[in-house]
Amino acid sequence: MKTILTARDIHKTYQTGEVATHALRGVDLELHAGEFTAIAGPSGSGKSTLLHILGGLDRPNQGEVWLEDSRIDGLSFNELANLRLTHFGFVFQAYNLIPVLTALENAAFVLELQGVPRREREARALGALEILGIAELAGRRPNQLSGGQQQRVAVARALAANPRLILADEPTANLDSKTGLALIEHMKRLNSEGGVTFLFSTHDPRLLSHVTRTVYLEDGKIVKDSTPQAA
């Protein structure tokens, strides 16, 4: 399979006064096109930190991050922002929706930043909302949506931009069981039918039971990397 994202000997330390927190300690990881992969582990194991570094939202203290044949960890702030805009889709725990925008406008927001014409971006955003089963909510603002509906809008925003890869930080953490399972099924369909590559950070057993690969972190190190075939 084609390797699209590579981490080599990633170290990350956060300094608070005289206290150093070693979030990642020499992580090596390759992500392949078409995978539906989870980064699992207990709270504080480094899951979110690794996800943010892989997506160019944070920088390692040591190590390399490659997007296919291009090294990205040394890019400037503006270069990283452009890379995120054109290659990655992000889904955050807090949804990060813009309160004054409707669901449709939120789903189209990245496309607007990309300079996509209004008619096209609205059509693509509405299509993403339809895929996720919430097209009828296109005119509502975030405060008129449930948590699960807001999370689907966040996924639609990532999907509408047609990214190579969607990175999701604990995407089911704030959802009830029924809504969480529905979101997982939607993302699985996007992966299997749309060819979208997914990488999650999670400790949710509901999500872990559906992924095709699980990378386990403990104390900032990968302790296990398993697939159903290898299990």
Which has the minimum average pLDDT: 21-25, 30-34, 157-161?
A: 157-161
Mean pLDDT score, 1-6: 91
The pLDDT, as a whole number, for residue 229 is 47
pLDDT band at 118 (very low <50, low <70, confident <90, very high): very high
Q: How far is CA 118 from CA 110, 124, 155, 158, 216, in A?
A: 12, 10, 20, 17, 42
Asked if pLDDT for residue 97 goes beyond 60, the answer is: yes
Mean pLDDT score, 16-29: 92
Residue 225 CA neighbour count, 13 Å, CB half: 8
Contact present, 148 and 182 (Cβ < 8 Å): yes
pLDDT band at 65 (very low <50, low <70, confident <90, very high): very high
Asked if pLDDT for residue 111 goes beyond 60, the answer is: yes
Query: Would you state the structure tokens that stand for residue 24, as one six-digit string?
Result: 């990642």
Mean pLDDT score, 138-154: 92
Asked if pLDDT for residue 149 goes beyond 80, the answer is: yes
Q: Average pLDDT, whole number, for the chain?
A: 90
Contact present, 131 and 89 (Cβ < 8 Å): no
Give the strand order in the sheet containing 213-218: 88-91, 165-169, 197-202, 36-40, 213-218, 221-226
Domains of the chain, start order: 36-226 (3.40.50.300)
